[in-house]
Amino acid sequence: MPSDVIFALASGAGRAAVAVLRASGAGTAAVVAALAGRLPAPRMASLRRLRHPATGEVLDEALVLWFPAPASYTGEDSAEFQVHGGPAVVAGVAEALVAAGARPAEPGEFTRRAFVQGRLDLTAAEGVADLIEAETAAQRRQALRQAGGALATLYGGWAGQLTALLARQEAFIEFEDEDLPSGLDDAVGQAAATLHDAILRHLADGRRGERLREGLRVAILGAPNAGKSSLLNALVGREAAIVSARAGTTRDVVEARLDLGGVPVTLADTAGLREAADEIEAEGIRRARDRAADADLRLLVLAADQPPDAETLGWLAPGDLVVLSKADLPAVPGLPAGLRVSARTGEGLSGLRSRLEAEAVARAGGVAETLLTRPRHRAALQEAAEWLAALDGASLPELRAEALRAALRAVGRITGRVGVEAVLDSVFAQFCIGK
């Protein structure tokens, strides 16, 4: 268990009215006393004059809070210094903390210590990281549910069921000749099959939790001069892409961020799909094809005043949303069904936005549900499901027990209860300094 004192700026960088530096570790009491003279009453703000422990120089008048273990975020002795937010004040207090024996924290080190101390499990720690990064209300709600233990409760319940099943299977092996209840082995198999089905239903979520956490990717495709860039600008309400009557103006992928129904969406305006005029345009078209392949939703934009060419129509795939741009101009016959939109007059834009919002919510909604949010969760649950499926074909009780044990290890890796050393660094490295 770590015993050294760490500290970090927990508030934003730059000038502010107040800046918060937090410290944690077994020696925090001595560090606080070195700067503030003595410890304040637990969990009560106390106005103190902070001094440099080596020189005695007055650094600031600040509010100091003391949180003795285990009633703190990390579960260790902790403290907060609420100082004036000027850069010189923050730098001076940070230097004093180092002089008092503390060291700057690594990314995610506070939350990692909370995990080590049993204050939260690994899914809750990831929820805290997601809460810090949340851009939209839906992301915030999902992160709060996870940080509050929704996933831990679900996966912990499954781990408990697997533990009970493993105990029963081991009892059958160890005491096969004893007077055990009849059908014990069969009952284990039936319960494992029920759990297997529950895990598969959880996995069949359309990746909505992962999509909400990461954001949806929407690619805008079409021929040159179809109105793709104008449509992007109209949807985001600013000139994110250059608009020109010259074909092939868009050579690279132009991205803009949008909040649709609480779902973060990245709109990508791509190069016009046609035979490239030069190597630069060819690269832009290649990137457009790659973006189309990776997109969660594709908008195929056709100019209403031009007959659609066969190459562009060849891109139309099931699930694509057809947008007929330049609706303020006379339409030509032979166009496929689609949403008529004019970036010039605003016609149809509210309808398109509503349709996009519905599509975004359908693909990444369901924040009231307990959805898995990371690829590592999915991989571990798929492994657990495979081991439970193998249980049915295992003839020997020892093999059935090993399958249950492996499934338990896989589920335990998600919450961090077993076999997690290999994933801890990658999880907590995603945190900001001070959390």
Q: According to the annotation, is 246 in a ligand binding site?
A: yes
Q: According to the annotation, is 269 in a ligand binding site?
A: yes
Q: According to the annotation, is 14 in a ligand binding site?
A: no
What tens digit of pLDDT does each residue of 15-28 get?
Answer: 889 999 999 999 99
For position 328, what pLDDT does the model report?
87
Q: According to the annotation, is 245 in a ligand binding site?
A: yes
Q: Inform me whether the pLDDT recorded for 410 exceeds 90.
A: yes
Q: Inform me whether the pLDDT recorded for 420 exceeds 50.
A: no
Q: According to the annotation, is 22 in a ligand binding site?
A: yes
Q: According to the annotation, is 384 in a ligand binding site?
A: no
What tens digit of pLDDT does each residue of 159-186 get?
Answer: 989 988 888 887 777 665 555 555 666 7
Q: Inform me whether the pLDDT recorded for 1 exceeds 60.
A: no
Contact by Cβ (8 Å): 267, 232: yes
Segments making up each domain of the chain, as ranges: 6-105, 123-205+372-428, 212-364
- For 388-423, give one letter per residue: b (16+ CB within 10 A) or e: bbbbeebeebeebbbbbbbbbbbbbbbbbbeebeee
Task: State both tokens at 267.
Answer: 């709109």
For position 248, what pLDDT does the model report?
46
Q: According to the annotation, is 326 in a ligand binding site?
A: no
Q: Inform me whether the pLDDT recorded for 249 exceeds 60.
A: no
For position 246, what pLDDT does the model report?
46
Q: According to the annotation, is 343 in a ligand binding site?
A: yes
Contact by Cβ (8 Å): 322, 337: yes
For position 267, what pLDDT does the model report?
87
What tens digit of pLDDT does each residue of 214-226 get?
Answer: 889 998 888 877 8
Q: According to the annotation, is 249 in a ligand binding site?
A: yes
Q: CATH number for the 123-205+372-428 domain, one of 3.40.50.12280, 3.40.1160.10, 1.20.120.430, 3.90.550.10?
A: 1.20.120.430
For position 223, what pLDDT does the model report?
81
Which position has the higher pLDDT, 194 or 332?
194
Q: Inform me whether the pLDDT recorded for 383 exceeds 90.
A: yes
Average pLDDT over residues 332-352: 88
What tens digit of pLDDT does each residue of 28-44 get?
Answer: 999 999 999 999 999 99
What tens digit of pLDDT does each residue of 121-148 get?
Answer: 999 999 999 998 999 988 999 999 999 9
- The pTM of the full predicted model, rounded to 2 decimals, is 0.76
For position 244, what pLDDT does the model report?
42
Task: State both tokens at 331.
Answer: 């339409």
Confidence class for position 8, pLDDT limits 50, 70, 90: very high
Which position has the higher pLDDT, 278 or 265?
265
CATH architecture of 6-105: 2-Layer Sandwich (3.30)
CATH architecture of 212-364: 3-Layer(aba) Sandwich (3.40)
Q: According to the annotation, is 227 in a ligand binding site?
A: yes
> Residue 269, SS3?
strand
> Residue 245, SS3?
coil
List 62's β-bridge partners, or say none.
48
Q: According to the annotation, is 201 in a ligand binding site?
A: no
d(CA 202, CA 204): 5
φ and ψ at residue 342, rounded to 5 degrees: -125, 115
Contact by Cβ (8 Å): 297, 319: yes
φ and ψ at residue 6, rounded to 5 degrees: -110, 155
Q: Inform me whether the pLDDT recorded for 84 exceeds 90.
A: yes
For position 127, what pLDDT does the model report?
93
